Chains A and B, each alone.
Chain A
Amino acid sequence: MPTKRRRKHDNDKQELRSRLRESATFPRSVIAEIQRAARTGIYDIRGFGAKRHVPTFDDLLFLGASMSRYPLEGYRERCDTNVTLGTRYAKKPIELKIPVTVAGMSFGALSAPAKEALGRGATIAGTSTTTGDGGMTPEEREHSKILVYQLLPSRYGMNPDDLRRADAIEVVVGQGAKPGGGGMLLGQKISPRVAAMRDLPAGIDQRSACRHPDWTGPDDLKIKIEELREITNWEKPIYIKIGAARTYYDTALAVKAGADVVVLDGMQGGTAATQDVFIEHVGIPTLPALRQAVEALQDLDMHRKVQLIVSGGIRTGADVAKALAMGADAVSIGVAALIALGDNGPEFEDDYNRLDSSAGYYDDWHEGRDPAGISTQDDELAARFDPVLGGRRLANYLRVLTLEAQTLARANGKSHVHNLEPEDLVALTIEAAAMAKVPLAGTDWIPGHGKF
C-alpha cells in the first residue's frame, strides 16, 4: 500500500476506534460476566468482601484539638487501649490489651499454619482470635492465648470439650458479606482432615445451612444461650455475631437474647467463598450499621454494658479510632489480617498471573490454590507459609493499628481510646453525615436533623 493511502487507512481506523463508546449499562466487566455465566451455568463465587464503593470511615474526619480542646502529648501522656468484654453475665470476662480482635475464619477456608499464625499474632499483640465454620484445631488453641469459639448453624466439629476449652463463645447468626446466607466450602478444599472434622465425605461441595438447627428466633436463642452458659458454668462471655441488615432491631434482639457482646459485621466484611451477587447486593455498610447498633444499645441503656465489636472493612488505625468514636468497644479484622499474613503479596505475582489474576486482585480463595499458602488445603502450597513469620507480621500490623488509633485519640485530647466520641467527628459527604449522624464538616447540619 502506498504511504499516503496507508496513512489515511490508519487515520480512519484510529477514528473508528476512538468513536467506540462503552455502555454505562453494559460495561466490559458486565459483558464478561454475562459471557462467563453463559459459558459455565453457575454464579460467580469468590472470597474477599464487597468491592463496590460505599460510604466508609474515610468519609469522616477527626477535628483534633486547638483553642477549645486540649490535646495530650504524643508518646509522653498515656493513652490506654485496653478493653474488657463480657461484663454483663460472664464470670470470666475477656481482657484485651488492644481494641482490635481477629475475626472468625475457618480451618478449611484457611490452612492449619495460617490459623496458627493468626493465633500467634493475636497473642503477641494481646488480643483474641476466633475459630470458624470448621471447629477448633489443636494448633489454633495452642497458639491463641485468647480464643473465641464460634457456634455456627452447621455445628461442624462442635463439642462440649472445645466449648469448655474456649475463652468466649460466639453464636454466629450472620456475617456482613452474606446476611441470610450459610457457609460454603467447595470440594477442592475438603481435604481428608477437613472432611473428618466436619463429618463429611471428602471432595464434596459443602453448603452449610444458614439457619441454626435448634432455635429460630430471639426467644429460643435466649434458652440456647442459657444452655451454653450452663454447660460452661457461666464462665465464658457469649457473643452474638450479626451481619448488618436491620441493625437497630437486630442489636436490640441480641441484647434481649442475653448477649454479653454484640459483634456487628458490615457489608464490606470478608468471606472465604460466597456468591458475588450476595456479597455486593445484600446488607448495609459498616458506617450506618454501627450507628444503628450504638443507638439500639443506648436506647436500652446497655451501651458499654453489652460491649460492641464492629467489623467489615477495618484497615487502618483511623478506621479503628473512628469506629470507637462512634461507640464501638472494639473492632475486628479478617481480610486485613490475611493481607498482613502475606495474602496478595507482590512476590507471588507470577503465580497470580498463572491463575489469571494479579497481586492486589486475587479473590478466588474458594479454589484452594492460594499462591501465598493461606487460603488452601494443599500441603505444598501451605508449606510456603511460615506461621512464625506470619504471626510476627500480624502482630506488627495490629500494633500499627493501635499506635495510629492512639495518635488520633491523643490529638483529640483523650487518655483512653474509648473516650473518643461522635463530637470529635465530622463528615466529608452528605451521605456519610446522614449515615453516621455526625455533622457535615464546617456546618452543624446532620441530614434529617435541623436545617442546613
Chain B
Amino acid sequence: MSQRYDLAQGSTRELNSWLHHYNGTGESAAWQVVNPNGAHNLAVGLDAPITVDIEGHVGYYCAGMNKYAQVTVHGNAGPGVAENMMSGLVRITGSASQYAGATAHGGLLVIEGDASSRCGISMKGVDIVVHGSIGHMSAFMAQSGRLVVCGDAGEALGDSLYEARLYVRGNVAGLGADCVEKPMKDKHKLELEKLLCEAGITGADAGEFRRFGSARKLYNFNVDNADAY
C-alpha cells in the first residue's frame, strides 16, 4: 500500500526528507504525491528503489540526480526534469520543458508528450525516449547514451556531440555542427527496439527511424575546420 503526501498541506522540504529516509537502505516503498501545483525540486536526490507517483504538474528539476527510484509525473514537467540522473526510471506522462535529462549519467527518462529545447544537453550515459517531438539544440554536446525521438527534432540537433547515439523517426529541422546521419544497422535496430520496449512505447517500428551521431571532425583542433567553431 502506498503512502500519500499532500503538498497542499505540506512542503517540498518535508516531502523530500521523507523520501530521503530510504536513501542508501535499499528498501522499496511506494509514495503518492498529490497537489504538486508546479512545485520545484520534488523528489530530488533519491537513492533507493522506491516508486513515487506525482499526480499533477511539476516545476523545475523534478527527480534531479535520481538514483534507483522510479518517479512518474502524471502531468507536465518544468525545466531540467531528471537532470543529472544516475539510474532508475523517470516517466512524464505529459510534456517536458527545456533541458530534460540534462547531463544525466544513467537510467531511463521517458517523456510521453513532447520535450522542449536542449533535451538531453550534455547527456552522459542516460537513455531518453520521447514519444512526441523535441525542440532545438537537443543533445547539444551529448557525450554518451541514447536519445530516441518518435516525432520530429528541431534545429541544430546534436550540435558538437561526442559519442551519444540519436534516433529520430520524424523530420529533423537541421543538424548541428559535427552531427551527421549514420547508417542504421541491424544492431542499431535491435538496440532501438529494446529501448522502445523498455519505455513502453508501442506502434513505433524501429525500421522507421534514422540514426545520427558525431562525425568526430571537431575532436581535435584543425584550423581548416575554423568555420565550424
Contact = CB atoms under 8 A, between A and B. Distances in A.
A204 B103 CA distance: 19
A155 interface: yes
A355 B41 CA distance: 51
Contacts of B98: 214
Interface stretch (A173-181, A221-229, A406-414): A221-229
B223 interface: yes
Interface in B84-122: 84, 86, 98-99, 102-103, 105, 118, 121-122
B221 A199 contact: no
Interface in A117-132: none
B136 to A, nearest CB: 14
Nearest to B83: A214
B158 to A, nearest CB: 15
A200 B221 CA distance: 16
Interface string A395-435: 00000000000000000000000000000000000000000
B132 interface: no
A2 interface: no
Contact of B40 (A213, A226, A234): A226
A213 B65 contact: no
Contact of B221 (A42, A159, A198): A42
A231 interface: yes
A41 B222 CA distance: 9
A158 interface: yes
A159 B86 contact: yes
B41 A159 contact: no
A230 B83 contact: no
A232 interface: yes
B42 to A, nearest CB: 9
Task: Indicate the member of B61, B67, B105, B162 with the most A CB atoms within 10 Å.
Answer: B61
Interface string A136-158: 00000000000000000011001
A163 interface: yes
A37 to B, nearest CB: 10
B179 to A, nearest CB: 16
Interface in A358-376: none
Contacts, number: 97
Contacts of A230: 12-13, 16, 41, 44-45
The dominant DSSP class at the A interface is loop
A350 interface: no
Nearest to B67: A160
B167 interface: no
Given A154-B122, A224-B61, A227-B60, A159 B105 contact: yes
A209 interface: yes
A209 B223 contact: no
A204 B61 contact: no
A201 interface: yes
Contacts of B60: 220, 223-224, 227
A205 interface: yes
A231 to B, nearest CB: 3
Contacts of A226: 40-41
B124 interface: yes
Contacts of A224: 60-61, 80
B209 to A, nearest CB: 24
Contact of B17 (A155, A209, A233): A233
A213 B122 contact: yes
B118 A187 contact: no
B155 interface: no
Interface residues of A, number: 31
Contact of A187 (B65, B79, B86, B220): B220
B72 interface: no
A160 B118 CA distance: 22
Task: Indicate the member of B64, B84, B125 with the most A CB atoms within 10 Å.
Answer: B84
A338 B178 CA distance: 37
Nearest to B104: A155
A232 B59 CA distance: 19
A42 B162 contact: no
A231 B105 contact: no
B77 to A, nearest CB: 13
A42 B223 contact: yes
Given A159-B84, A227-B64, A231-B65, A199 B220 contact: no
Interface string A184-225: 000100000000001111011100010001110000100110
A316 to B, nearest CB: 38
B79 A214 contact: yes
Contacts of B67: 160
Interface in A221-263: 223-224, 226-227, 230-234
Contacts of A232: 45
A163 B219 contact: no
B163 interface: yes
A259 to B, nearest CB: 17
Contacts of B133: none
B20 interface: yes
A159 B65 contact: yes
Contact of B65 (A42, A160, A215, A223): A160
B49 to A, nearest CB: 15
A160 B80 CA distance: 16
A94 B118 CA distance: 36
B141 interface: yes
A209 B40 contact: no
15 contacts: A42-B221, A159-B105, A160-B45, A160-B47, A160-B84, A205-B219, A209-B122, A209-B141, A215-B80, A223-B40, A223-B41, A227-B60, A227-B61, A231-B44, A231-B64
Closest 3 CB pairs between A and B?
A231-B45, A41-B223, A214-B80
Interface of A: 40-42, 154-155, 158-160, 163, 187, 198-201, 203-205, 209, 213-215, 220, 223-224, 226-227, 230-234
